Structure 1
Amino acid sequence: MASKESEAVRRHWVTSRESAQRDTPDGDQESGDHRWAELTTEPTDVDYLSVEGRQAIWIVPHNASADRVLLCFHGGGYIGGSRYSHRKMFAHLAKAVGARALVFDYPMAPEHTHPAQLDHGVDTYRWLLNQGISPEHILFVGDSVGGGMAVTTQLRARSIGLPLPAGAMPFSPAVDFEATGASYDANRDRDEFFHRDLVRGLAYLFLGPDGSPRDPFVNPLYGDLTGLGPIYIQVGGDEVLLDDANMLAEGAEKAGVEVRLDVFPEMQHTFQMAAGRAPEADDAIQRMALWARPVLGL
């Protein structure tokens, strides 16, 4: 049975759904970020440093390894979320891993359509490499559309000759913007926010009238995953995006990639945002940390 504390995530999505049904604006970006960030407690013994010239934050846990880095891709459907909404959650993860983390902003749809977001992700990765961090000491991590970017950014980076990172940890990844998964039906009454029309609507905003949801830099299932580092996927059992995670895991395995997939029963989309509050979120963070440390050589 889901914990009482995890209900905060469910209530967050219920409120978001009700707001969308009333067609009432959810407030400005700062207010939206604050409501999202409220789900997460503030971790202790972590410092935050702005990055000069970039819309990014260094997350520096006390006693963290300086040369191991989590490159963090925030979620938000390409229309919301930021380094501020996700700062605390990624800080919990960075502290558990014992590494620094870099969380950055990327351009939002509909003003900026694909591949603007992906290009910004590649640029941030290139910048990180130019800071002297070895690719085998970098792990991509992201939630929702950020989880998809944790994979597609690798494909884009490889296509222009950049080295691949050590691996990726996508959770509640959004990769299938055609919304074909059977879990859209199976979990229709369990997922408190997402449904096919919503995901397809977000895809239209993100892709624009000329973009394709089958672009391999949008949906990695249409790309060549051969040669990628290990991937650890987490997903909530009540999500309509459950099959996005299943299909990503299956596609990676077929390409010879080492994959682990953990499904958390009764959990909603990006339930890890309740880190420090809900035992399921804390368990998920610890599982990611235990998986990540040997991948990063810690």
Structure 2
Amino acid sequence: MTADEQALKEIASLREMLASAPRPVGWDNRRARLDEVGTFWPVADDIAYESVECGAVSGEWSIAPGSDPAKVLLYFHGGGYCSGSIKSHRRLVTEAGRNAGMRTLAIDYRRAPEHPFPAQHEDALSAWSFLIRQGIEPKHIALGGDSAGGNLALSLVNRLQEAGKPLPACAWLVSPWTDLTMSGSSLAVKEAIDPIIHAAYLEELASAYVPAAMDRSDPLISPLFLNFNGFPPILIQVGSAEALLSDATRLAEAVGMADVDVRLEVWPHMIHAWPVWNAGLEDGRKALVSAAAFINSVMR
């Protein structure tokens, strides 16, 4: 079996699992479903993790055997700002830390609609400030995030830069949701093959997250429109079968136009945030290996 055939076989099994129950209705049901599918494969037995209060926001430390506790991957989970949790992304975060050989800190930021913008941004800054108070040097911190978490990671870099503070070593973004105006062409082109993300669903998420008076093209909401001058190196990973493909490719272009080191990986056949299911997807595991190599190449 070729690598391409193996990828197709594995992604078909994942699609079957995701389609095994009707799409949930209501925030509580959606959150429960994402936690359910995110934990389909458990965390490895050798991972040590513990809850921690990071100032105003809760988080979770994790570390694999042999990892360097002085280096940290600060991770923001996806879920459209309305769902997702430390639990749903624990396997992704802990295996990312294992591959990169460093501790991870996953953040339980507040979710919309109960807590609309800018609550999530405030929580991200609280988590960053917590790490600095712990004596972790910014050059030893990598930011990570998938989907809305990728949006949040970019926004945190921008906020630190505008405050004149030292920036993290790099940012690793998986399937980032960068344009809440929903102007990307892949939203229509990939609508029929993306099992998770659809334009109507994104509109519902954006309406819950963004205050009605705010313009969704504001860079604080849609970091695709940020000024990326001076940003640290960025790795963007996206699947070819996802509706947010254009959010990733346009982001790579915008970052590159600002003369920032940016690397774009488009993974054939992969769906939104596929490394979440790395235990069952070889391409999920390979994506984490690639991310680790990127992080370690820029973190000295």
2:29 corresponding residue in structure 1: 27
Kept in 2, the 8 Å contact 1:66–1:99? The answer is yes
Q: 2:83 aligns with which of 66, 80, 84?
A: 80
Where do residues 247-262 of structure 1 align in structure 2 (5 Å cutoff)? 247-262=250-265
More displaced 10-residue stretch of structure 1: 247-256 or 199-208: 199-208
- The separation in 2 between residues aligned to 1:85 and 1:142, in whole angstroms, is 13
Cα 1:214/1:24, change in 2 over 3 Å:
closer
Cα 1:25/1:97, change in 2 over 3 Å:
closer
More displaced 10-residue stretch of structure 1: 245-254 or 148-157: 148-157
The CA deviation at 1:3 is 3.8
The CA deviation at 1:102 is 0.1
Asked whether 1:176 is paired with 2:179, we answer yes
More displaced 10-residue stretch of structure 1: 264-273 or 150-159: 150-159
1:200 corresponding residue in structure 2: 203
Provide the secondary structure at the position in 2 that maps to 1:4.
Answer: helix
The CA deviation at 1:285 is 0.9
One-letter amino acid of the counterpart of residue 7, structure 1 = A
1:14 corresponding residue in structure 2: 19
Asked whether 1:5 is paired with 2:6, we answer no
- The separation in 2 between residues aligned to 1:24 and 1:186, in whole angstroms, is 27
Kept in 2, the 8 Å contact 1:138–1:165? The answer is yes
- The separation in 1 between residues aligned to 2:27 and 2:20, in whole angstroms, is 12
One-letter amino acid of the counterpart of residue 29, structure 2 = G
The CA deviation at 1:94 is 0.2
Asked whether 1:291 is paired with 2:294, we answer yes
In the alignment of these two chains, the number of paired residues is: 293
Kept in 2, the 8 Å contact 1:19–1:25? The answer is no
Provide the secondary structure at the position in 2 that maps to 1:161.
Answer: coil
Cα 1:66/1:10, change in 2 over 3 Å:
same
One-letter amino acid of the counterpart of residue 276, structure 1 = A
More displaced 10-residue stretch of structure 1: 282-291 or 42-51: 42-51
2:271 corresponding residue in structure 1: 268
Cα 1:8/1:215, change in 2 over 3 Å:
farther
The CA deviation at 1:33 is 4.9
- The separation in 2 between residues aligned to 1:26 and 1:192, in whole angstroms, is 20
- 1:73-108 deviation per Cα after TM superposition (whole angstroms, max 9, x unaligned): 000111111111111211011001100000011111
- The separation in 2 between residues aligned to 1:264 and 1:66, in whole angstroms, is 31
- The separation in 1 between residues aligned to 2:225 and 2:297, in whole angstroms, is 29
2:111 corresponding residue in structure 1: 108
Asked whether 1:122 is paired with 2:125, we answer yes
1:135 corresponding residue in structure 2: 138
The CA deviation at 1:203 is 0.9
The CA deviation at 1:52 is 4.0
* Percent of matched pairs sharing the same residue: 33
- The separation in 2 between residues aligned to 1:277 and 1:77, in whole angstroms, is 23
One-letter amino acid of the counterpart of residue 88, structure 2 = S
One-letter amino acid of the counterpart of residue 178, structure 1 = T
Kept in 2, the 8 Å contact 1:3–1:279? The answer is no
Structure 1 residues not aligned, in runs of 5+: none
Provide the secondary structure at the position in 1 that maps to 2:9.
Answer: coil
The CA deviation at 1:35 is 0.7
Kept in 1, the 8 Å contact 2:43–2:90? The answer is no
One-letter amino acid of the counterpart of residue 72, structure 1 = Y
Kept in 2, the 8 Å contact 1:8–1:274? The answer is no
Asked whether 1:190 is paired with 2:193, we answer yes
One-letter amino acid of the counterpart of residue 171, structure 2 = A
The CA deviation at 1:8 is 4.4
Cα 1:204/1:256, change in 2 over 3 Å:
same
- The separation in 2 between residues aligned to 1:12 and 1:209, in whole angstroms, is 36
- The separation in 2 between residues aligned to 1:24 and 1:128, in whole angstroms, is 35
- Give the structure-2-normalised TM-score: 0.92
- 1:189-234 deviation per Cα after TM superposition (whole angstroms, max 9, x unaligned): 1111322222122111100211221111121222211111100000
2:157 corresponding residue in structure 1: 154
Structure 2 residues not aligned, in runs of 5+: none
Asked whether 1:215 is paired with 2:218, we answer yes
Provide the secondary structure at the position in 1 that maps to 2:264.
Answer: strand
Cα 1:162/1:111, change in 2 over 3 Å:
same
